[in-house]
């Protein structure tokens, strides 16, 4: 597969995805800090985000991965320009034309379909770029997160039992996938 890369901006009906940039770090940190208790229930990386500099380190890693075509991380903005969370594609396997999508959104924006739209937009770009298989993994107890791949007609492949540890709790993850041959119209 030829290694052309993803656009830095992706426009949707209600949201815009923009490549992560250093200027997002203070707001990202504020959002994680403000919603830390809710986010940390399912996302173990929150314990490593203790300062704005930690977010800057994340964005530096995003830039390196982008420049080396290993991952693509986007900030999600509504049409009013308000930052809402992140969505990204990672674990790029160019030989097998596959990758994984991950996401999080600030609690005040949950339940309005923004994440579903974000994932659908990114999925469309990934398939257009030449990926054949996209995976989404969700904690079995994170029902809202699991509704995203279900709503976009991903297939449940199975459950990885106690596959990672978050604090004192082992998490089991549902594994969903979609193939380029299963694409349905956007939203």
CATH number of the domain that residue 175 is part of:
3.40.630.30
Q: What is the pLDDT of residue 35?
A: 85
Q: Is residue 4 part of a domain?
A: no
Say if 167 falls within a structural domain. yes
d(CA 65, CA 52): 20
Evaluate whether residue 100 is within a structural domain. yes
Is 97 a member of any domain?
Answer: yes
Res 176: pLDDT? 97
Find all residues with CB under 8 Å of 27, minimum gap 6, and list them. 83
Q: How many domains is the chain built from?
A: 1
In a domain, 2, yes or no: no
Q: Can you tell me whether residue 136 is helix, strand or coil?
A: strand
Spell out a b/e string for 46-76, using b for 16 or more CB atoms within 10 Å of the CB, else e.
beebeeeeebbebbeebeebbeeebbbbbbb
Averaged over successive runs of 10 residues, the pLDDT of the chain (187 residues) comes to: 77 96 93 85 82 94 94 96 95 95 93 96 95 95 92 95 84 94 69
* 3 falls within a domain: no
The answer to whether the beta carbons of residues 89 and 155 sit under 8 Å apart is no
* CB-based contacts of 116, cutoff 8 Å, min separation 6: 147, 148, 151, 152, 187
On whether residue 13 sits in a domain, the answer given is yes
What size, in residues, is the chain? Answer: 187
pLDDT for res 2: 47
What is the domain extent for residue 65? 9-182
């Amino acid at each position: 597969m030829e290694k052309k890369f993803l656009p830095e901006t992706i426009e949707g009906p209600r949201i815009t995805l923009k490549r992560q940039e250093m200027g997002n770090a203070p707001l990202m940190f504020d959002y994680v800090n403000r919603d830390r208790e809710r986010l940390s229930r399912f996302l173990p990386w929150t314990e490593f985000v203790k300062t704005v500099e930690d977010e800057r380190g994340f964005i530096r890693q995003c830039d390196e991965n982008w420049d080396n075509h290993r991952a693509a991380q986007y900030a999600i903005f509504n049409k009013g320009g308000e930052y809402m969370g992140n969505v990204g594609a990672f674990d790029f396997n160019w030989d097998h034309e596959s990758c994984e999508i991950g996401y999080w959104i600030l609690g005040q924006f949950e339940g309005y379909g923004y994440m579903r739209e974000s994932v659908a937009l990114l999925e469309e770009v990934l398939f257009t770029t030449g990926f054949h298989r996209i995976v989404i993994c969700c904690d079995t107890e994170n029902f809202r997160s699991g509704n995203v791949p279900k709503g976009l007609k991903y297939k449940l492949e199975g459950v990885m039992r106690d596959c990672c540890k978050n604090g004192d709790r082992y998490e089991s993850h549902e594994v969903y996938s979609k193939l380029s041959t299963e694409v349905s119209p956007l939203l």
